[in-house]
Amino acid sequence: MTDRKSTDAAAAEPELHIFEPDPNDPARKRMNPLLKLVLELGPLIVFFFANSRGAWIAEQVPFLADIGGPIFVGTACFMIATALALSVSWMLTRTLPIMPLLSGVIVLVFGALTLWLQDEIFIKVKPTIINTMFGVILLGGLLFKKSFLGYVFDSAFRLDAEGWRILTMRWGLYFLLMAVVNEFIWRNFSTDFWIAFKVWGNMPLSIIFTIMQLPLMQRHALPVEEDAAKG
């Protein structure tokens, strides 16, 4: 009798997910799309601001003056903002978003190398590595019939399996293209131009690319009643 009660109690307790569940899992907590966008893009905005106002920030926070020039101050702020964004996401959903987590780990590792070795190349190649990794993960996941893009956009879009498959393939190719673009930019232009493009070039291009996918998403959107039934 005691064993049965223990089993029932254990079954009644919600399962703890460290990483976010599958996109259509009923246990998945959905975050406000705008808040999710802020948490994912916020650290990048902080990086741009801190780099452009690095000298002023160093004056306000004296210990940052020992880090180095503006890009190093920006890198330190980028790392802090990334850690804070992941912490806020955990507090709100009690799970860690997979794609931002992978990106965050690379930011922290390459950011630390940038500050330690005082070499800005490490932070410049980070987007190349992240975009290549995302492209390989998305396209590689399709080989195992897994559309990992659903983990990123499920709060904003609800698509059928075929829609996620096609969208995942397109975004995988887009990430690989952006890896090539980043390599071209940082190797051929100034640091300030690279940072400006990272914020004001990458984001508009991503928005334009997303808008171009709207016809596909409309064709494969889940009906409202099916969406509600699965939620």
Alpha helices (H) in 13-120, listed in sequence order: 33-52, 54-60, 70-93, 98-117
Q: Do the Cβ atoms of 96 and 18 come closer than 8 Å?
A: yes
* pLDDT score, position 11: 45
**pLDDT in tens for each of the 231 residues of the chain?**
445 544 444 444 445 556 555 555 555 566 666 777 677 777 877 777 777 776 777 677 776 667 777 778 888 888 888 889 888 888 887 777 766 777 788 888 888 888 888 888 888 988 898 889 888 888 988 888 777 776 666 555 678 888 888 988 999 999 999 999 999 999 999 988 988 898 788 888 988 998 898 898 888 887 765 444 444
* pLDDT score, position 96: 72
Give the CA count within 13 Å in the CB-facing half-sphere of 96: 15
Q: pLDDT tens for residues 130-170? A: 889 888 888 988 888 777 776 666 555 678 888 888 988 99
Classify 222 as helix, strand or coil: coil
Classify 19 as helix, strand or coil: strand
* pLDDT score, position 8: 47
CA-CA-CA-CA torsion for 118, 136, 210, 197, nearest 10 degrees? 20
